[in-house]
Amino acid sequence: MSEENMVEQEALVLVGRKPTAVYLARTIMLLASKGEAKIMARGKFIIKAITVAVRAMKASDCDCEVSIDEELIRAGGRDLLVPRIEIALVKRSTAQAT
């Protein structure tokens, strides 16, 4: 695995069943240490991912880029299209913020 892929994976927050505060803390830590974070969620967890992104944006000065798509998942012999969202947060430099 290349170093670039490792850095990208380290800055990834996969939203699922845990409380929102867990994902929010991880996102804010990534923004503080790396200056960027990518929040990903599928299906019913999309709302939680959006909540995490909005709260992280309020807590730190950052820009947001949203990507939406569908994934084909085979479950129980059926093909299901499951919605997916990726929210990329990048901390603004202090020169741009002033």
pLDDT score recorded for residue 9 = 57
Q: Does the reported pTM lie above 0.85?
A: no
pLDDT by residue (tens digit) across 3-57?
A: 444 445 579 999 999 999 999 999 999 999 999 999 999 999 999 999 999 999 9
The 8-class DSSP code of residue 3 comes to H
pLDDT score recorded for residue 75 = 86
Dihedral angle sign, alpha carbons of residues 80, 54, 67, 62: negative
90: Cβ–Cβ under 8 A, 6 or more apart, which residues?
35, 36, 62, 63, 65
pLDDT score recorded for residue 93 = 75
Bridge-based pairing of strands 12-14 and 36-42 is parallel
Position 72 pLDDT exceeds 80: yes
Q: Enumerate domains of the chain plus CATH numbers.
A: 3-97 (3.30.110.20)
